[in-house]
Amino acid sequence: MLRRFQEWHPNGRYMFFPNSPDAASCPRRPTRDRQRHNLMLLGISDRGIDHEVLLDGMQCLLRRRPEMRLHIIGQGGEDRLRHGAEQRGIAATLVFHGFQTRERALEMVAAAGIGVVMYAQEHPWQYYGDSIKIREYAACGLPVICDGLTSTAEEAAQAGVATIVADAEGFAEAVARLTSDDAAYERAAAAALAWAKENDKRLFLEEFMRRIGMVPKDFPNHH
């Protein structure tokens, strides 16, 4: 999309605004203080999330790493997830936290080990969606396990933040590797913070203000 805009508007009078958070305000913890056996899923619904792959992936993972837990924040798809987990005999490994304020939710994310999301391929235009989940995980310093259905996943993978998986076995393998290989985890966590900093919403807003001739005096120096 960026290349197409450059062709159409060679004078550069456009800006790309990723669906990114104010990364500087997101909570972070040193990797040694995180609960690496805790996976975090921000937001669930009966539509949008591929519950089957997520649950099958947990089932595969627990055969290798029985201490792993999937923590879920949000409302709307609990019954389906609980039922699916009960059918698979893994209900005790899912922890539902319900609705949380954004501040509390991000604190919980920062304390976890890995952020996960598996989107359901419901619409052909989903690829052009910009997953805020992936960007918020990264802003809290978490490596990400995700599908490849959004362009954000590709961007995160190129930055060394995300591992893209296609099925339950791939999910289990990716989580097992990150939780057993300290060097791989540290690299992905450092890449997550670097990527989030590059995509900090404030950087784009400041640049926009400069382009239209305004000085962002009200923006504190957070670099």
Q: In the structure encoding, which two tokens stand for residue 37, read together?
A: 């056996």
Kindly state the average pLDDT of the residues 172-182: 96
Name the band, by pLDDT with cuts 50, 70 and 90, for residue 46: low
Kindly state the average pLDDT of the residues 21-47: 90
Q: What is the pLDDT of residues 53-112, one digit of tens each?
A: 999 999 999 999 999 999 999 988 888 899 999 999 999 999 999 999 999 999 999 999
User: Average per-residue pLDDT in the chain?
Assistant: 89
Is a pLDDT exceeding 50 seen at residue 223? no
Element (H, E) at 188: helix 182-198
State the alpha helices, DSSP H only, in 15-101. Answer: 51-64, 78-88
Name the band, by pLDDT with cuts 50, 70 and 90, for residue 33: very high
Specify the pLDDT at position 172: 97
Kindly state the average pLDDT of the residues 113-141: 89
Share of the chain above pLDDT 90, in %: 65
Is a pLDDT exceeding 60 seen at residue 218? no
Write down all domains in the chain, each with its CATH number in brackets.
33-211 (3.40.50.2000)
Kindly state the average pLDDT of the residues 174-190: 97
Q: What is the pLDDT of residues 131-154, one digit of tens each?
A: 899 999 999 999 999 999 998 999
Q: Give the C-alpha separation, 110 to 13, whole Å.
A: 37
* Beta carbons within 8 Å of 57's beta carbon, 6+ residues apart: 118, 165, 167, 168, 169, 170, 171, 172, 175
The answer to whether 49 and 118 have CB atoms below 8 angstroms apart is: yes
Specify the pLDDT at position 47: 66
